[in-house]
Amino acid sequence: MAAVFCATLCLLLAGAGCSAAALSPAECGGYAVAPADDASKQDARWAGYLRDHLRRRAEGGIRTVPDEGTGDRELFGLTVRIDTLLKGDFCVERSRRGVLIAARDERTMLWLQYQLMKSLAGEDRRIDAADLPPAAVGLRDTAGRFAFAYRAVYTPAAQDDDLAGILSTDNVETGWGLWGHQLDRVLADAPKEVFATVGGETCDGQFCFSSDETFRRIEEYVADNFGEGGTLPARFVIAPADNDAICTCEACSAAGNTSRTATPAVMRMLGRLAARFPHHTFFTLGYLSTGEPPAVRMPANTGVIVSAMELPLSAGALKSASGKKFAVRLDGWKDVTDNVYIWDYIQNFDDYLTPFPVLERMGERLRFYRDKGVEGIFLNGSGYDYVPFDDVRTYVLASLLRDPGQPVEALMRRYIAANYPKSGDLLAGFCVQAERRAAASARGLNLYGGIRDAEASWLDAAKFAAFYDELGRVLPTAKGAERRQLHELLTALSYTRLEVARNHAAGPSGCMERRGGSLRVRPQAGQWLAALEECASFAGMKHVGESGLPVGEYLGAWRSRIFQAETVSNLLPDTGLKAVSRPDEGYEDLGVLTDGVRGLPVGYHYGWHISSADLEVEIPAGAASRAQRFEMSFLDMPRHRLRAPRSVEVYKDGALYRAFVPKPDAAGRIFTVSGPVDLSGAERITVRALRPEGGRTQLAADEIYLIP
């Protein structure tokens, strides 16, 4: 077999072409499927697989795809071969009346057969492959090598085993004996010697990797569940718990541990396990306390998964100081092991329901990883939780993992056009523009951000609102699977619409309108709330983000704090507060304190002004002169170091006028100060909120009301 070898997978029916005399499959009476080597059990099995699956898709079934050539009908030949000596990962050879497909392994053969069936359907109407994603390999001479040997995408679509096979992606939940930070499953209820010594005290939140008991328990787990690995080798991640605590017991310190690195002791543990199980492979994480590589070469059956958390998702990130530092660290790991994988991030983990245009950024990064010689990629997304455009994103990312040189926009447009006949132009236009804005943004995408971060990096509120409205108009015209998918998409985007509306208050895209000198909630807000309530119809749309905030709890807070809230006259709207204390980065705009929209008690992204110091603002004296009552609220969330102030003080012309002690609501989440005031006659009025004493706490302040 004379294979034409390419360095990378070609996108659009790539290759050298075929003879003008070649017959189209549609011109033939049917298909004859055969193994390249009758004596090969693998070839025979995969020929049978192709025959069976093609027959199910063929009009006429067995008449179109017979068990063997019969009569004088001219059949189009499909020949299947597993070739472990293939230079690349796959090869397609076109003859006058047939195609030979060859793959280096069975996993690639599965992917290649679905590529073939999709391409056949493009030329032969008798074949139905409408359910398959667009093919990258056509019916021409083509060969290629995938950019990465390991390709995992942690998205809802990729959790489907059938689709994972079609896209040739790996699954971290089924493909590893231990993954990520799962070592605690093995070391649960372990004795004291398994746990780290930190500052002379036992730390049950971290492990000691010099302990013989730690080794014994891992050894027992591997042997009992995966054997010696001679027949079926497995991969394991052996890494510290997800915190920066480091064991500095006598043994770990002797291995080289310091208060800044746990790499020496972890490497010694990996070496012991690698020697005990030479057929298995043991990885650690290049992250936190094990971020820096060891000084010596690692055993052949060990490796590292380097976290890209420090690499911003922004324009020019790879050339920035952070990018250069990351490249140096990556090179350091490459110097000590050939098994270097990357753990990268494709999701805003605080907000699953707002689009996250990461594809252009990820294409650039994947090209960087390929050029660095990285062997495997894990793209960490939302797992099983729904995210908008997940099918598009999963298809594009899987394609880029095979060949990151492909143009992202073309991949998106091809997939959307094939799967969204009614709404394709609308969806593609939105996705392409979102990707372009995100790719050009110096601000970058925030992995733990709210709607303000999205608007700062890529989301245009007015354009999104227009897209949302148009999607609502297109939805009723769609049918079947497209209509179901659009319904789910519109439901999720209703969360984003509510967030945009809350963030813009009385602005053009906001949820409020001014009537007779006071603010009222716009009627459309009720429609957006009702649309999001449809989330109950979708199993994957229970939570807003990784923290587990239920969508229903968010809806309840929005209704009670904004939609159904009592209207309060406030002398402050449309007047500018002046910051006296230094604002935190990203919180320079004090408008959230006077926009007329109350903060929601479900998290700090929802209408709160964050201050890591005591908060002090100046109120325009003219607006305050008619005030009879003062009110201000704060969010109390200890796990985020957000605490209610110990006191809120009001000053008139530099002298303390009144001090208020905040009182909690029934849930203990929102603390409010409220009381009568007389601010007339003062030329300068300031409000100062004092943080609790002790600890690194922050303030999250809500609306300031001056009530006449």
pLDDT the model gives residue 16: 38
pLDDT the model gives residue 372: 98
- The more confident residue out of 517 and 665 is 665
CB count within 10 Å of CB 235 equals 22
Alpha carbon distance 244, 258 (integer Å): 12
Tell me the pLDDT tens digit for each residue of 24-63: 999 999 999 999 999 999 999 999 999 999 999 999 888 8
pLDDT the model gives residue 566: 84
Q: How confident is the model at residue 73 (pLDDT cuts 50, 70, 90)?
A: low
Mean pLDDT computed over every residue of the chain: 95
Tell me the pLDDT tens digit for each residue of 317-373: 999 999 999 999 999 999 999 999 999 999 999 999 999 999 999 999 999 999 999
Tell me the pLDDT tens digit for each residue of 476-491: 999 999 999 999 999 9
Sequence ranges of the domains in the chain: 25-145, 153-440, 460-563, 578-707
CA 184 to chain centre: 24
pLDDT the model gives residue 14: 37
CB count within 10 Å of CB 16 equals 11
Above pLDDT 90, what percent of the chain? Answer: 91
pLDDT the model gives residue 188: 86
Contact predicate 514/565, CB 8 Å: no
Angstrom distances, CA of residue 358 to CA of 145, 363, 451: 25, 9, 16
177's tokens: 């004996």
Residues 6+ apart with CB under 8 A from 131: none
Q: Is the pLDDT of residue 21 over 90?
A: no
Provide DSSP, 390-429. Answer: HHHHHHHHHHHHH-TTS-HHHHHHHHHHHH-TTTHHHHHH
pLDDT the model gives residue 370: 99
Coil/strand/helix, residue 238: coil
Alpha carbon distance 92, 108 (integer Å): 12
Q: Which helix (H) or strand (E) holds 94?
A: strand 90-95
pLDDT the model gives residue 71: 47
Q: For the residues 201-218, what does the mean pLDDT come to? A: 97
Tell me the pLDDT tens digit for each residue of 459-474: 999 999 999 999 999 9
Encoded amino acid at 400, one letter: L
pLDDT the model gives residue 250: 98
pLDDT the model gives residue 552: 98
Tell me the pLDDT tens digit for each residue of 595-653: 999 999 999 999 999 999 999 999 999 889 999 999 999 999 999 999 999 999 999 99
Contact predicate 696/561, CB 8 Å: no
- Which fold, 153-440? TIM Barrel (3.20.20)
Q: How confident is the model at residue 17 (pLDDT cuts 50, 70, 90)?
A: very low
Closest CA to 494 of 547, 549, 558, 433: 558
CB count within 10 Å of CB 279 equals 14
Angstrom distances, CA of residue 218 to CA of 175, 226, 244, 289: 18, 12, 22, 20
- Which fold, 25-145? Chitobiase; domain 2 (3.30.379)
Identical fold at 25-145 and 153-440?
A: no
- Residues 77/82/84/87 CA torsion (nearest 10 deg): 30
* Terminal alpha carbon distance of the chain: 88
List, as own/partner pairs, every contact residues 424-430 make where C-beta atoms lie below 8 angstroms and the sequence separation is at least 24, other chains included.
Answer: 426/467, 426/470, 426/471, 426/474, 427/389, 427/392, 430/467
- Residues 333/335/337/343 CA torsion (nearest 10 deg): 30
CATH of 578-707, one of 2.60.120.1190, 1.20.1080.10, 2.60.40.10, 2.130.10.10: 2.60.120.1190
Q: For the residues 650-657, what does the mean pLDDT come to? A: 98
Encoded amino acid at 465, one letter: A
Q: How confident is the model at residue 516 (pLDDT cuts 50, 70, 90)?
A: confident
Alpha carbon distance 25, 98 (integer Å): 8
Please state the length of the chain: 708
Coil/strand/helix, residue 79: strand
Above pLDDT 70, what percent of the chain? Answer: 96
Q: How confident is the model at residue 238 (pLDDT cuts 50, 70, 90)?
A: very high
Coil/strand/helix, residue 220: helix
Provide DSSP, 525-557. Answer: HHHHHHHHGGGGG-TT-SBSSTT--BHHHHHHH
Tell me the pLDDT tens digit for each residue of 669-703: 999 999 999 999 999 999 999 999 988 899 999 99
Encoded amino acid at 442, one letter: A
pLDDT the model gives residue 69: 53
Alpha carbon distance 148, 77 (integer Å): 31
Encoded amino acid at 60, one letter: G
Q: For the residues 443-451, what does the mean pLDDT come to? A: 97
526's tokens: 């009720």
Q: Is the pLDDT of residue 706 over 50?
A: yes
DSSP code for 62: G
Report phi then psi at 559, rounded to 5: -65, -50
Tell me the pLDDT tens digit for each residue of 373-421: 999 999 999 999 999 999 999 999 999 999 999 999 999 999 999 999 9
pLDDT the model gives residue 518: 80
Contact predicate 109/91, CB 8 Å: no
Burial 638-648 (b: 16+ CB within 10 A, else e): eeeebbbbeeb
